[in-house]
Amino acid sequence: MFVQEEKIFAGKILKIHICTMEGTEWLEEVTEDTTIEKLKEKCLKHYVHGSLEDPKTLTHHKLVHAATERILMETKTVSDENLKDKDVLLLIKKRPPPPPPKMADISAEEKKKQDNKAPDKEAILKATAGLSTRHTDRTVTQHNIRDFQTELRKILVSLIEVAQKLLALNPDAVELFKKANAMLDEDDEDRVDETALQQLTEMGFPESRAIKALRLNHMSVTQAMEWLIEHVDDPTVDTPLPGQDTPGAVGATAPPLTSTDDAATGARQDELTEIFKRIRRKREFRPDSRAVIALMEMGFDEKEVVDALRVNNNQQDAACEWLLGDRKPSPEDLDKGIDTNSPLFQAILENPVVQLGLTNPKTLLAFEDMLENPLNSTQWMNDPETGPVMLQISRIFQTLNRT
């Protein structure tokens, strides 16, 4: 007895259940080494009862594995596609590609785009050539509508000078500043943005690590997350942050000044000056690192990028416009105070709430902080000691600005 060679070396025979979208069902017997293309051809011959007169029929159909809903690759074999005995395959006609648009449709679409296109400068000038010219002094209008944030900085610069002079007259000024600054350090250490913390803990970071990351990155969720990822294998990642008390810090104890003569007064003012310098170094402007990188990649120098972010309150888009524009106001303008003889500044100084606040060292610290970090204004507006002062300044400005 002779047996065909192909049957001797054929693989295992599988019975595959074939279904069509019309509900026709049958079994196809195939070997494991049969390609999916051959299997599809056999299915189509059965489906069309004998022959495939149109060769496109083969390319217009596909086989889908019913259990996994995946399309079978025609170049692979039954074994490669991991088909099993009695698996169910769907013979589906492929969705035809959309017909190309007619020329008439393209022309209509282009015409519609042209109709909706905004006019260019030439078209506007041509359409308005017959209109009479009206001379409006827009400079005066813009000058009257003063930006509160810009004016607030000038007000703060001048108020800091007044507060320093007032507090220097207080014999206990040095001790008051040390206590106030120590209290602020404690507040900074304890204060954590609850919303930012919740975002990090919901990502799966431990709460203690999230708090540490937020404090190290000035409550920035993005930078804190990057820090946590970078230090995930760091053995010291859970080590608490060191205390703020260091030799020579602002909170260090100094010998009391009991004498009221000129030498003692001069020494006290010198010590106050040194404290003010330390406060400014501690509250100095911190540019957003991501914004610095993004702007430097545009070709700007680091110094001018930092200046731009300082002028524009760490707002990257505004800083970019400043760099590309006339760069007004300049960084030097930020350190200029308001005219001390102006009605606005006189009205602020005459306000009783402001007068009382200027004798509080914490108010001066708040002013210093807002100068370099304007985004912290909200924090000081909500503070029970500095909030009323800031509210009065805002109200006086808005009242005089309207008049």
Best CA proximity match to 167, nearest among 175, 3, 152? 175
Q: Output the pLDDT for position 257.
A: 40
The CATH 3.10.20.90 portion of the chain extends over 13-93
Mark 184-202 as b/e (b = at least 16 C-beta within 10 Å). Answer: bbeeeeeeebeebbebbee
The verdict on whether omega for the bond into residue 99 sits within 30 degrees of 0, i.e. cis, is no
Q: Exposed e or buried b for every residue in 312-340, given b needs 16+ CB within 10 A?
A: bebbbeebbebbeeeeeeeeeebeebbee
Residue 71 φ then ψ, to 5°:
-80, 130
Taking 50 as the pLDDT cut, the residues of the chain under it are 1, 3, 5-9, 136-146, 187, 189, 243-260
153, 374 contact by CB (below 8 A): yes
Cα-to-chain-centroid distance, residue 194: 18
Distances, alpha carbon 339 to alpha carbons 52, 163, 198, in Å: 94, 16, 45
What pLDDT does 271 receive? 62
One-letter amino acid of 364: L
Tokens of 283: 């509250």
| pLDDT at residue 177, rounded to an integer | 65
Bridge partner residues of 31 (DSSP): 13
State the amino acid at position 338 in one-letter form.
I
HEC sequence for the chain = CCCCHHHHCCCCEEEEEEEECCCCEEEEEEECCCEHHHHHHHHHHHHCCCCCCCCHHHHCEEEEECCCCEECCCCCECCCCCCCCCCEEEEEECCCCCCCCCHHHHHHHHHHHHHHCCCCHHHHHHHCCCCCCCCCCHHHHHHHCCCHHHHHHHHHHHHHHHHHHHHHCCCCHHHHHHHHHHHHHHHHHHCCCHHHHHHHHHCCCCHHHHHHHHHHCCCCHHHHHHHHHHCCCCCCCCCCCCCCCCCCCCCCCCCCCCCCCHHHHHHHHHHHHHHHHHHHHHCCCCCCHHHHHHHHCCCCCHHHHHHHHHHCCCCHHHHHHHHHCCCCCCHHHHHCCCCCCCHHHHHHHCCHHHHHHCCCHHHHHHHHHHHHCHHHHHHHHCCCCCHHHHHHHHHHHHHHHHC
Q: Is the pTM higher than 0.85? A: no
Return the structure tokens found at 334.
């930020």
Cβ atoms of residues 389 and 353 within 8 Å: yes
Contact 91, 43 (CB under 8 A): yes
The pLDDT of residue 389:
92
Name the token pair of 194: 């609850």
Would you state the pLDDT for residue 338?
A: 84
Measured in residues, the chain has a length of: 403
What secondary structure, in 3-state letters, does 10-28 show?
Answer: CCCEEEEEEEECCCCEEEE
pLDDT tens per residue, range 302-352:
889 988 888 887 788 989 999 998 888 888 777 778 888 889 899 999 999
Q: Which long-range contacts (CB under 8 A, 24 or more apart) does 193-199 make?
A: 193/219, 196/220, 196/221, 196/224
> What are the beta bridge partners of residue 88?
17
Pick the CATH number of 13-93 from 3.10.20.90, 3.90.420.10, 3.40.50.300, 3.40.50.2020: 3.10.20.90
